[in-house]
Amino acid sequence: MATPFVPVPVPIERAPRPDSKSPVTRARLNGTERSVEYSSCPLPETPGQSWEERPITPTVLGYEVMEERAKFTVYKVLVKKTVDESWVVFRRYTDFSRLNDKLKDMFPGFRLSLPPKRWFKDNYETEFLEDRQLGLQTFLQNLVAHKDISNCAAVREFLCLDDPPGPFDSLEESRAFCETLEECNYRLQKELLDKQREINCLKKTLEEKERHIQTLEGRINGDVLTPDSPCCVSGAGSDCSLDVESSAVEADQELPDETPAVLRSSQGSVCWCGPSISGASPPVVQVTALDH
């Protein structure tokens, strides 16, 4: 959607003149160049003219490009009737063109300059839309500068002067804009749902990988501490060498002194070599069977 462009409104100040003729500005757009022409038209007015008697000065606030359905541009026009009374109407370029055709038939001697149509290029370029917005603003200012034209039925209907739109009135352009927002919201929600599903799938895959890593770590730790592994580690806290240590203590009690000794029996032998074990943990004693 194109970004709305809001030009600075140019107020039209009309002062009483000694004669009954007043210049009326008419802007003509030729490509990117603008030329201004002047014409004299009767403008009867009195010095004590009030606000209600002055012409309405509409302002083109911006535009919106509808893209979801049939593509077209809507211009937002602010109509200010009095200081405290104003409203907004939405008009397309074709509405301005129809109004211009009606005014040509009603006032053949007065010509308003409307921005030309564009046939061979994109009508939705930002620069083109901004130039057209300025041209439409000039068209409206020239339109209300002539009292007879500004009070005719075609202009009053175009600006909704006799039946201003209320806050609860729904125009076709407003409905189309709301439908566009709804479709855009639906599309964004669908994209968000797809992304959420993708994130959930990635989370599930990550959890499976973490469980697989934990299983591999458990297997590695289980191979080191398996009960079938040989008991070659000595020290307190080793369950494998506890029984052997107790046998070594019993064998040591039967020896006459603390010198290295060898104990032999008819069923097996216990061999232990080392210094005194008093005051320290008994060492590991290896038990081997004797051949008869």
Supply the angle between the helices 93-106 and 126-145 in degrees, to the nearest 10.
30
pLDDT at 210: 94
**What's the CATH number for 21-169?**
3.30.1520.10
Residue 193 has what pLDDT?
92
Q: What is the pLDDT of residue 259?
A: 47
Q: Give the mean pLDDT of the chain.
A: 67
Four-CA torsion 65, 69, 71, 76, nearest 10 degrees: -40
pLDDT of residue 176: 56
Pick from 182, 169, 186, 177: nearest CA to 2: 177
What is the rounded distance in angstroms from the CA atom of residue 27 to the CA atom of residue 199?
59
Q: Which tokens in the block code for residue 280?
A: 């320290």
Give the pLDDT confidence of 98-156 residue by residue, as tens digits.
Answer: 999 999 899 888 888 888 787 677 777 888 888 888 989 999 888 888 888 888 999 98
Per-residue pLDDT reduced to its tens digit, 211-244: 999 999 999 988 654 555 544 444 444 444 445 4
Instruction: Give residue 201's pLDDT band: very low, low, confident or very high (50, 70, 90).
Output: very high
Q: How far apart are CA 184 and CA 273, in angstroms?
A: 89
pLDDT tens-digit series, residues 39-58: 434 444 444 444 444 546 67
> Which is higher by pLDDT, 104 or 182?
104
- Residue 64 — very low, low, confident or very high, per pLDDT cuts 50/70/90? low
Query: Hey, which of 29-38, 88-97, 201-210 has the most confident mean pLDDT?
Result: 201-210
Q: Is the pLDDT assigned to residue 165 strictly greater than 90?
A: no
The C-alpha atoms of residue 199 and residue 187 are separated, in whole angstroms, by 18
| 253 against 264, higher pLDDT | 253
Give me the mean pLDDT over the 261-289 stretch.
Answer: 52
**CB neighbours of 177 closer than 8 A, spacing ≥ 6?**
64, 66, 74
> Which pLDDT band, with edges at 50, 70 and 90, does 191 fall under?
very high
Instruction: Look at residue 50 and give its three-state secondary structure.
Output: coil
Alpha carbons 264 and 124: distance in angstroms, whole number: 109
